[in-house]
Structure 1
């Protein structure tokens, strides 16, 4: 079931790329926020199904799952270990997305300010660097989650 869901998520992603390429090639105009929201909603719905099926689903292939379960218990991995890695990935991922949004707005404002007064270059670089610090904080939190 999980494999089918992952293939479905990949098909949604690839279909979105192909549709977007064709729309750009044909000069189609539309609401970009609505298109992104539709695609992200479908993708998240499929991924939520994968997570729920993974957590609550039974073993589809019981005879091949038994050696894997024995190996997992022998190595000491558990649901807590998996959630720890998931939390670290979310901390880094969300911090990186926030950094992209912050650098996008601060950077465009900095370019506008520099075009009017070139002596402001040093001050604007400080603001852009502060925005990039968000991703460093996310990475530090991820390291703390993994090793503490």
Structure 2
């Protein structure tokens, strides 16, 4: 179960990083002010990254009691970790490709259907072919995970 530090510390960091850009997105900041706010945003982002790296490399842990319980059950090899990464990449990249395919095919299908109602079946096939790419990627990732 998450305690309050685990919940509110990341939320506070996100708010502190995003706060300088609120007026920039509203359009109420001048160019000089926007540039200063953007630099503040970039520097604070890298400061949080450096602080998290330093915190993770140090032996001091706020969650030491819970960490022993959680890490006791985690075992695996580098090959298994790379297998899970490859399964995630297979699913993610195929879904990205399917999204690009559907984004190109669906408006064309709608346009063809609006001109001639007989084109519905033909245009639906092209949209379904784009969706099939995501299903094939999911199938490949399932096969990869079954081999682990």
Shorter-chain TM-score range: 0.5 to 0.7
Residue 135 (str. 1) matches residue 139 (str. 2): no
Counterpart of 2:78 in structure 1 is 79
| Residues paired across the two proteins, number | 117
Q: Deviations over 1:94-126 (max 9, x none)?
A: 111111110010011111111111101001111
How big is each residue's C-alpha offset from its partner over 1:24-60, in whole Å with a ceiling of 9 and x where there is no partner? xx8xxxxxxxxxxxxxxx8xx97xx79xx6xxx7464
Equivalent position of 1:100 in the other structure? 99
Query: Aligned in 2, Cα 1:14/1:70: closer, same or farther, shift over 3 Å?
Result: closer
Find runs of 4+ consecutive structure 1 residues off by over 3 angstroms: 9-15, 17-23, 57-70
TM-score norm. by structure 2 comes to 0.56
Query: What TM-score comes out, normalization by structure 1 length?
Result: 0.56
- Give the 5 Å matches for 1:57-72: 58=57, 60-61=59-60, 64=64, 67=68, 71-72=72-73
Superposition map of 1:33-72 within 5 A: 58=57, 60-61=59-60, 64=64, 67=68, 71-72=72-73
Considering only aligned residues, what root-mean-square deviation do their CA atoms show, in Å? Answer: 4.2
1:68-119 Cα deviation digits (max 9, x unpaired): 69625xx532333222222211111111111111001001111111111110
Task: Report the structure number with the largest CA radius of gyration.
Answer: 2
- Which blocks of at least 5 consecutive residues in structure 2 are unaligned? 1-9, 29-41
